[in-house]
């Protein structure tokens, strides 16, 4: 299978606990190559734009305030079947339902502060990669 790219984020609850290295090491051990990487703080407007698909959901305001509350890490990860494989390595959205050994089972604090993001489909991966990175930044 040819290499595929997906967009990952390390969320503010994880950057604030110095978990960037542990989480990236986990991804590298799973065969992902880090082809794009930056640490930044989203404005509230940035977070609202990134999560616009959830605008009608009751958790939208709280989620976007949380996502702009501190630094995040944005990563583009590449391997075969990257989108589906990253979702497996992350674990379920709700850490109480996340399989043992997944990032969310290991590190998430709550359903909202669940440490990591990963694109959910090829179309969203392209949109989300372009949200953070220009083509020249992906090596
Ligand atoms: P995902 O991150 O596993 O793809 P989504 O359903 O796309 O999950 O939700 C986006 C993010 O919104 C979740 O990762 C989590 O931080 C937050 N979230 C999802 N559902 C809830 C909820 O019911 N309450 C609070 N926060 C939620
Ligand atoms: Mg999602």
- 27-69 confidence digits (pLDDT tens): 999 999 999 999 999 999 999 999 999 999 999 999 999 999 9
**Tokens read off for 83:** 């989108």
> What backbone phi and psi angles, to 5 degrees, belong to 118?
-145, 140
User: Has residue 2 got a pLDDT over 90?
Assistant: no
**Which residues are part of the catalytic machinery?**
117
CB of 15 shorter than 6 A to ligand 1: no
pLDDT at 64: 99
User: Has residue 1 got a pLDDT over 80?
Assistant: no
Ligand 1 mean position, distance from CA 112 (Å): 6
CB of 92 shorter than 6 A to ligand 1: no
Q: Which ligand minimizes its atom distance to the CA of 110? A: 1
pLDDT at 118: 99
Q: How far is CA 138 from CA 19, 83, 130, in A?
A: 23, 17, 11
Q: Which ligand minimizes its atom distance to the CA of 9? A: 1
Full-prediction pTM beyond 0.75?
yes
CB of 111 shorter than 6 A to ligand 1: yes
> What backbone phi and psi angles, to 5 degrees, belong to 128?
-75, -35
Tell me the C-alpha distance between 116 and 9, whole Å.
5
- Characterize 100-134 residue by residue with b for buried, 16 or more Cβ atoms within 10 angstroms of its Cβ, and e for exposed: eebbbbbbbeeebbbbbbbbeeeeebeebbeebbe
- 72-122 confidence digits (pLDDT tens): 999 999 999 999 999 999 999 999 999 999 999 999 999 999 999 999 999
- Please report where in the chains the tokens 């390595």 appear, as a residue: 89
């Amino acid at each position: 299978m040819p290499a595929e790219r997906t967009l990952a984020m390390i969320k503010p609850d994880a950057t604030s606990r110095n978990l960037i290295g542990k989480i990236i090491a986990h991804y590298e051990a799973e065969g992902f190559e880090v082809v794009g990487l930056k640490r930044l703080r989203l404005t509230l407007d940035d977070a609202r734009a990134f999560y616009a698909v959830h605008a009608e959901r009751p958790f939208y305001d709280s989620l976007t305030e949380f996502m702009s509350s501190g630094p995040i890490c944005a990563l583009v990860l590449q391997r075969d079947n990257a989108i589906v494989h990253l979702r497996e390595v992350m674990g379920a959205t709700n850490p109480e339902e996340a399989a043992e050994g997944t990032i969310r089972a290991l590190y998430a604090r709550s359903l909202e502060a669940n440490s990591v993001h990963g694109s959910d489909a090829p179309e969203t991966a392209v949109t989300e990669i372009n949200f953070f990175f220009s083509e020249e930044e992906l090596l």
